[in-house]
A and B are shown apart, each in its own frame.
Chain A
Amino acid sequence: MAVTIICGANQQAGTPGMKVSEIKDDFKEILNIADDAEALVNGVKVDGDYELVEGDTLEFVKKSGDKG
């Protein structure tokens, strides 16, 4: 089972065993992850050293749109 990586409306499948910081680098462009985006694993805040296990859902929290 893979891990799920989410940012805003979009998601990708990732590989278990990777650290949050590594995933952030790998998926930065395709998911448009901001440098200062907070990371949540299964809804709980984690730091960049957290290592993902099978079934985890990692969300990089996207900021609210500021314009309108």
Chain B
Amino acid sequence: MKKIKVIGAGGIGSILLPTLCRFLDTSGEDAVISIIDGDSYELKNRTRQLFSELGNKAEVSVKKLSSEFKNLEFHAKPEYLTDKSALYLLEDGDIIMSCVDNHKTRKLLSDFCAEELDEVVLISGGNAFTDGNIQIFIKQNGLNLCLPIANEYHQEIMHPADKSPNELGCGELIATVPQLIFANNAVATLMLNAFYTQFYADGCKYNEVYTDIITNNSRSLTR
């Protein structure tokens, strides 16, 4: 049975989820999908995010997806990932699809997967306005098979300058950075490609992929 944790159901996550669930549902896969997000869908999210009603992103997504994909088991976790919640939200054997929107949470995830778990596949995506990348981390039998996503080449994740959503105080708003749905879509596609390759083909031979929607180039690499 596959235990899939999708963290973040916003720009990338809400696009990734329907395709992932359709594939799993129709392939006869025995899968449990947990969607983790403490944020809520608001009208302003309509430019980039797929949702059917307003409300907590995890709960709204599970309601919609569970009505459509009857062969899968869903769990809504309407909370942000923190040092504490990671302890009960994540476990050995997880396939984690990280669709978060800040490096602070990526660092938390990177450290938790590399140091606290023995068996995990982490596929992490992020984007700027017209480009983005994914990173893949695999740990088997307690051994890191590749670099954690927070590594010497990605100091922006090693030493994040931003805050995670749960760290924002009352009245403190995340600076609104313009995003493009096509960049979210491109990164979601890379993540799904990596998921398929890792579990249904020969396994990922790379641990990072960059994409640029203007040049329509993508490049996979191993560090």
Contacts and interface: CB of A to CB of B under 8 A. Distances in A.
Contacts of B218: 9
A65 B133 CA distance: 6
Interface string B11-41: 1110000000000000000000000000000
B114 to A, nearest CB: 16
A3 B102 CA distance: 35
Nearest to B161: A66
Interface in A1-53: 6, 8-11, 32, 38, 43
Contacts of B156: 63-64, 66
Contacts of B210: 8-9, 62
A64 B210 CA distance: 9
Interface string A53-68: 0000000011111111
Given A64-B156, A68-B11, A6 B219 contact: yes
Q: Which of A43, A61, A65, A66 has the most chain B CB atoms inside 10 A of its CB? A: A65
A39 to B, nearest CB: 11
B138 interface: no
Given A6-B219, A9-B215, A10-B212, A67 B179 contact: yes
Contacts of A9: 131, 210-212, 215, 217-219
A28 B181 CA distance: 26
A26 to B, nearest CB: 18
A56 B217 CA distance: 21
Contacts of A61: 153-154
Contact of B187 (A6, A10, A32, A65): A65
B92 interface: no
A10 B179 CA distance: 20
Contacts of B162: 66
Nearest to A40: B153
A43 B222 CA distance: 10
B101 A64 contact: no
Contacts of A63: 154, 156
Contacts of B58: none
Contact of A64 (B12, B154, B179): B154
Interface of A: 6, 8-11, 32, 38, 43, 61-68
